[in-house]
Amino acid sequence: MPLLILHPVPPLPPLPTYFALSFLLLLWSVLQAREELSVLEQSGITTAPPSEMDPSSQTLNLTHYFDIQEDDITVLKYVKSMVRDSWSVLVLCNVAFCFLLVVGMGLQWLIFGKLRDIERQHVRDKLWNFAFYKFIVVFGVLNVQTLEEMVFWVAWFATFAFLHAFAQLSKDRFEYLSFSPATPNTTHAKVLGLLASIFSASIILGCLCGYVGNSHGWNLFLFMIAECLLLAFRTLHVILKYAIHLYDLHYEGVWEKRGMVVYYTELFMELLVLGVDFTHHIHMLLWGNVFLSMASLVICLQIRFLYNEIQRRVQRHRNYRKVVHNMEARFANASDEELRQNDDDCAICWEEMKSARKLPCNHLFHDGCLRSWLEHETSCPTCRQPLNITRTEGGSRPQPAGEAAPQGPTLTPAQRIGARNPTMRNRLGGHFFHFDGSMIASWMPSFSVEVTHSNVLRRRMVANRISVLNNMANQVTQMFPHISHSAALNDLRMTRSVELTVANIVEGRLVDTGTPPGSPASSEPPSSPEVPASLEEADTFSPLLRSPDSASNTASSPPTDAETPWDQPSTSSAWHQVSEGGDTGHSFSDTGARFSKSSTERQNMLQLRKERLLLEARRKYANNQAAASRSDTRNEAIGQHQTGPSTSSPSSSSSEGNLQEHTSLPPSVTSNLHSESDSNYDSSSPGTFYTSEAGPRSDDVVRRRNAVLEATLRRLNQQQL
Amino acid sequence: MAGSALRRLMAEYKQLTVNPPEGIVAGPVNEENFFEWEALIVGPEGTCFEGGVFPAEIIFPTDYPLTPPKMKFKCEMFHPNIYSDGRVCISILHAPGDDPMGYESSAERWSPVQSVEKILLSVVSMLAEPNAESGANVDASKMWRDERELFYKRAKEIVKKSLGYGS
């Protein structure tokens, strides 16, 4: 019976409200304490009545500290008097919680800055799961009855929740940082420092456990130390991974043993954490004396899950050993001579080979690279020749790390869901609890509870995009005050880049209220369907009609054209202008770009290359459209000539001069194009009107096409005459 | 671990920048995350997608190049081998283990010797020659098979849209 609850998390009040309420409560209890103190002082009793607390409670050794003494300072008196009232104690706890929250948020801003959505989601998941689980433990296993005990445990687990949350954040942040080659060292230092302090905090807490356990028995000690160990090992795991990553990043050349080191660190730490967790749960089950209660049920489920995890991990390690063993037995190390003969990088990691293994098909690979590939597939990566290693027993494939797939017929549905759990949580961005009662007894129900926050995520993304667009629109309107903000925004929605929009404005494609006089034909924003046709007349037509070598023609073009970058005879120089128009000002060669060592420079160059590609494509498209629309106008002109020869369109008369230079075309081309000029653009076979080369040649081709069209037109006219 | 994947991606990025294939620009969207790339692909000449500039995102797994990346077009596409949500369905992007269509031979599947450049070139050739047999988009496959002229017209519209000229 799947049960989907969309908003089970109670609508928490916003933080400022919560802080204000806490402060009011604190004020109230301070006033209470003051009243009580004045009563006490009036009656002259300075020592508290004998404690009514249970002698066996955890805080027994602390109670006598809370007797109010004459010589205490006022603040201490207040605190002591407040501690004797259970409501005030709760208020104090709440204040302490507020304090922890503030410290946590401060620390988070200091070290991580703004959290990414996924990190926030993970921390939230972690905290809710932790709170939910520890709630069961506190009331089910520890069987807390007095307020003092409860305060103690809440404080204890709150500390751990705090540390766990930061350990989780550091882990997520580390994984994110490891995706980038250019992270500043200070960022690494901050995260590593936090991890180190979490680790030392868990050791200090462990010492505290020893102290408490000394007076309260070893069961309690074991229970508490397990928490410390879990936290310490998890943190240590992240620290080790971090250290390996940093070492690898700064290691010159190829670190051949890297795969091995990483694998065994992972294996050891994972098994350690799983083992401690497993023992901890078994101990809780035996010590807590909680058989046949709800708590025991939850613990049993957890034990079962942990057991399967351990089994899976061990199985994976067996497979790994087998692969390594097989590989070492079957594929010999390549000799130095073979390496020299090969003289190529490893095809898997693209790095130099100092030692390698040789497959039967004579292909060489790094030891580690080949091993990790063989865990996926038993064939040569280069030639696909099967290698026929019998890797696994029972046909189960080794699992790549972090990926938990069902791996045998013995898996129950609950486990399978448990195994899928991480991915589902990632996808939905929520919590996922599953309870399968049929595992325990056939009549029990099974249900899943899922908490999703996807709407929060989506809203934030939309808001982000809008603000980015707004910023870009502001940039554009600063450069071009005559363009209205909304028009710029509209165009930016289409282009998603300031440079492209600027190019649109300069070309006159984006025209707003204050239309510049040079572009009469383009009166619509580029989003409208007619634009490609109309914009041709604005920008591409005039350069087309002007041949670059006829200087007499320049006078006929509108004077404003001289300012637009498109008024260049060669398209490539136009892009140089545009790319220089951006403030980065890099120069480009057409074949490729320099690969900069600086990350920001690389990003800028990539961005410019992308924009150039898009501009180039647009330019070509516009040219082709021009050619197509010209062929249409010619056809119309023919029609006009047929009905009334007295009307002559200005475009055809102006291009007559152009025509004179290009009459020497081969007749075959002319006849070829003749048949096509009659057909409509859309139904013509693909690519007919397209130019194939960037740069000056494309212009040449367009010019030649124009000439051919003119020739066709003239012949048609002659035929009519 | 992301370390070796990072090195390899860096090497590929360098190769694609210094010596790019014609009509392809590809690189990380943001260098803070080297595992998310954006590629611009120009429609191959002499085909119905000619002249269009199609943006696509490529998401790499952390164990790249052992497992293939995922590729998805970010613009509207209408093609027999591209799902309607933009995901690209070509054999080079499929790990040897999984076979969603049940027809591909293992030889044309992903292997670590493949690269981003090879993927993008395969996509270009896929744009040029749709494979209607393994239709990811059934409507497009059908139109490609039965009403070729209509398909060309639709492709032209997509090219136009991809250049930001609206519909």
Residue A626: CB atoms within 10 Å: 25
- The three-state secondary structure class of A353 is coil
**Mean pLDDT: which of A36-45, A172-181, A697-706 is highest?**
A172-181
**In this structure, what token pair is assigned to residue A605?**
């160059």
**Do residues A138 and A198 make contact, with C-beta atoms less than 8 angstroms apart?**
no
- Which residues of chain B lie closer than 8 angstroms to A180, CB-CB? 6, 31-34
pLDDT recorded at residue A527: 40
Q: What is the pLDDT of residues A678-721, one digit of tens each?
A: 333 333 333 333 333 344 445 565 566 556 555 655 655 554 44
Rounded to the nearest angstrom, the gap between the alpha carbon of residue B116 and the centroid of all alpha carbons in its chain is 10
Residues A294-344: pLDDT tens digits? 788 888 889 999 999 999 999 989 988 888 888 888 887 877 777 777 777
More confident residue, A27 or A689: A27
Q: How far apart are CA B51 and CA B127, in angstroms?
A: 12
- Does B21 reach chain A within 8 Å, measured CB to CB? no
> pLDDT at position A204, please?
93
How many other CB atoms are found less than 10 A from the CB of residue A43? 8
Mean pLDDT within A618-646: 67
For A561, phi then psi, to 5°, come to: -60, -30
Q: Quote the distance between the C-alpha of residue A411 and its chain's center.
A: 32
pLDDT at residue A408 tops 90: no
Measured between beta carbons, the chain B residues lying within 8 angstroms of A241 are 1
Q: Return the pLDDT at A511.
A: 55
Amino acid (1-letter code) at residue A377? E
Least confident of A166-180, A624-638, B73-87: A624-638
Between B22 and B108, the higher pLDDT residue: B22
Contact A347 B112 (CB under 8 A): yes
Mean pLDDT value of segment A622-627: 83
Q: Which of A109-113, A614-618, A670-674 has the lowest mean pLDDT?
A: A670-674
- Band (A3; pLDDT cuts 50, 70, 90): very low
> Following DSSP, what letter does each residue of chain B receive, concatenated?
-HHHHHHHHHHHHHHHHHSPPTTEEEEEEETTEEEEEEEEEEPPTTSTTTT-EEEEEEE--TTTTSS--EEEESS----TTB-TTSBB--GGGS-SS--SSS---GGGS--TT--HHHHHHHHHHHHHS--GGG-SSHHHHHHHHH-HHHHHHHHHHHHHHHTT---
**Alpha carbons within 13 A on the beta-carbon side of A291:** 1
Percent of chain A with pLDDT over 90: 13
Q: Where is pLDDT greater, at A72 or A583?
A: A72
B62 has a pLDDT exceeding 50: yes
Interchain contact, B18 vs A595, CB within 8 Å:
yes
Q: Which two tokens stand for residue A687?
A: 């690519």
Encoded tokens for A75: 């603040």
Picking from B30, B75, B111, B118 by the largest number of A CB atoms within 10 A of its own CB, the best residue to mutate is B111
Confidence of residue A50 (pLDDT cuts 50, 70, 90): very low
Q: Which residue has the higher pLDDT, A127 or A478?
A: A127
Judge whether B146 is closer than 8 Å to chain A, CB to CB.
no
pLDDT of A422 > 60? The answer is no
Outline where DSSP puts E strands in A116-265: none
pLDDT (0 to 100) of residue A203: 93
What's the pLDDT score for residue A13?
67
Q: How many angstroms away from the CA of A692 is the closest CA of chain B?
A: 7
Residue B139 has a pLDDT of 87
The proportion of chain A whose per-residue pLDDT surpasses 70, expressed as a percent, equals 55
Interface with chain B: mutation pick from A172, A179, A237, A535, highest number of B CBs within 10 Å: A179
Q: Closest chain B residue to A253 measured between Cα atoms?
A: B7
Look at residue A670 and tell me whether its pLDDT is greater than 70.
no
Interface test with A, best of B15, B17, B24, B29 (most A CBs within 10 A): B17
Q: State the pLDDT confidence band at A434, using cuts at 50, 70 and 90.
A: low
Is residue A72 pLDDT above 70, yes or no? no
Tokens of A373: 């590939």
Q: Between A452 and A385, where is the model more confident? A: A385
Q: For position A235, what pLDDT does the model report?
A: 94
pLDDT in tens, A535-560: 333 333 333 333 333 333 333 334 33
Cα–Cα distance, A368 to A375 (Å, whole number): 11
A348: closest CA of chain B, how far (Å): 5
**Among B11, B17, B111, whose Cβ lies nearest the Cβ of A592?**
B17
* Residue B50: band (very low, low, confident or very high) from pLDDT cuts 50, 70, 90: confident
Report the distance separating Cα A196 and Cα A187, nearest Å.
Answer: 14
Question: Who contacts A392 (Cβ-Cβ below 8 Å, separation ≥6)?
Answer: A319, A322, A398
- What's the whole-number average pLDDT of chain B? 85
Q: Which residues of B touch A366 (CB under 8 A)?
A: none
User: Residue B40 and residue A697: Cα distance in Å, rounded?
Assistant: 23
Beta bridge pairs of residue A446? A436
DSSP SS3 for A355: coil
Average pLDDT over residues A476-505: 69
CA-nearest residue of chain A to B97? A377
B156 reaches A (C-beta below 8 A): yes
Answer whether A358's CB lies under 8 Å from A331's CB: yes
Confidence at A528, pLDDT banded by 50, 70, 90: very low
Record: contact A592-B149, CB cut-off 8 A: no
- Whether the pLDDT of residue A377 is over 50: the answer is yes
**Is residue B66 less than 8 Å (CB to CB) from chain A?**
yes
A485: left (phi over 0), alpha (psi -120 to 50) or beta: alpha
Best mutation target, A613, A679, A698, to test chain B (most B CBs within 10 A):
A613
The model's pTM is: 0.60
Per-residue model confidence (pLDDT) at position A440: 57
Predicted confidence (pLDDT) at residue A462 exceeds the cutoff of 70: no
Give A496→chain B minimum CA distance, Å. Answer: 10
| pLDDT for position A532 | 40
Cβ–Cβ of B152/A686 closer than 8 Å? Answer: yes
Both structure tokens of A233: 């090992």
CB contact under 8 A, B31 and A181: yes
**Which of A126-135, A644-653, B112-121, B128-137 shows the lowest per-residue confidence on average (mean pLDDT)?**
A644-653
Q: Which among A202, A273, A195, A198 is positioned nearest to A241, based on CA atoms?
A: A195
Chain-centre distance for alpha carbon B42: 11
Instruction: Please enumerate in sequence order all residues whose Cβ is within 8 A of that of B29, keeping only pairs 6 or more positions apart, or say none.
Output: B36, B37, B38, B57
pLDDT score recorded for residue A273: 94
- A591: Cβ–Cβ under 8 A, 6 or more apart, which residues? B19, B20
How does pLDDT run across A229-245, given as a tens digit for each residue? 999 999 999 999 999 88
Residue B23 to residues A616, A714, B19, B45, Cα–Cα distance (Å): 10, 38, 12, 10
Residue A377 CA to residue A323 CA, distance in Å, equals 11
> With 80 as the cut, is the pLDDT of residue A400 above it?
no
pLDDT at A231: 94
Determine contact: B125 vs chain A, CB below 8 A: no
Please answer yes or no on whether A181 and B23 come within 8 Å at the CB atom. no
pLDDT tens digits, A260-304: 888 899 999 999 999 999 999 998 888 876 667 778 888 888 999
Q: How far apart are CA A57 and CA A148, in angstroms?
A: 7
Position A250: which residue type? H
Distance of CA A136 to the CA centre of its chain: 34
Pick the range with the lowest mean pLDDT from A20-24, A64-68, A420-424, B64-68. Answer: A420-424
Residue numbers in B near A258 (CB within 8 A):
1, 3-4
Query: What's the pLDDT at B23?
Result: 86
Express as a percent the part of chain B with pLDDT over 90.
Answer: 18
Residues of B in contact with A176 (CB under 8 A): 32-33
Q: Residue B56: pLDDT above 90?
A: yes
The pLDDT score that the predictor gives to residue A535 is 38
Quote the pLDDT of residue A711: 61
pLDDT at A8: 47
Closest partner CB to A617 (pick from B27, B32, B51): B51
Computed from CA positions of residues A482, A488, A491, A492, in that sequence, does the dihedral angle turn out positive or negative?
positive
What is the predicted pLDDT for the residue at A481? 66
**A54 in Cβ contact with A146 (< 8 Å):** yes
Please state, in angstroms and rounded to a whole number, the distance separating the CA atoms of residues A496 and A502. Answer: 11
Task: Tell me if A400 and B35 make a contact (CB, 8 A cut-off).
Answer: no
To the nearest whole Å, the CA of A472 is away from the closest chain B CA by 17
Taking alpha carbons only, the member of A141, A416, A367 closest to residue A256 is A367
A39: buried, middle or exposed (CB in 10 Å: 19+, 13-18, 0-12)?
exposed
Cα gap A98→A697, rounded to integer Å: 71
Higher pLDDT among residues A69 and B25, named by residue: B25
Residue with tokens 């195994």: A419
From the list B42, B52, B113, the residue facing A347 with the nearest CB is B113
SS3 A317: helix
Residue A164 and residue A228: Cα distance in Å, rounded?
Answer: 10
**H helix or E strand, kind and range, residue A612:** helix A599-643
pLDDT at residue number B91? 85
By annotation, the residues of B acting in catalysis are 89
Nearest to A310 by CA among A280, A362, A273: A273
- Whether the pLDDT of residue A367 is over 70: the answer is yes
Quick one: pLDDT at residue A315?
92
In chain A, the residue whose alpha carbon lies closest to the alpha carbon of B62 is A179
Of the pLDDT bands very low, low, confident and very high (cuts 50, 70, 90), residue A202 is very high
Question: In 3-state terms, what secondary structure has residue A4?
Answer: strand
Nearest alpha-carbon partner for B124 in B33, B6, B20: B20
Q: Which helix (H) or strand (E) holds A652?
A: helix A650-659
Residue B166 has a pLDDT of 63
Strand ranges for A476-570 from DSSP E: none
CB contact under 8 A, A376 and B18: no
B84 touches chain A (CB under 8 A): no
Cβ-contact A274, A310 below 8 angstroms: yes
Pick from A181, A526, A595: which is nearest to B6 by CB? A181
What integer best gives the mean pLDDT of chain A? 67
Residue A181, preceding bond cis, omega within 30 degrees? Answer: no
Region of residue A445 (phi > 0: left; psi between -120 and 50: alpha; otherwise: beta): beta
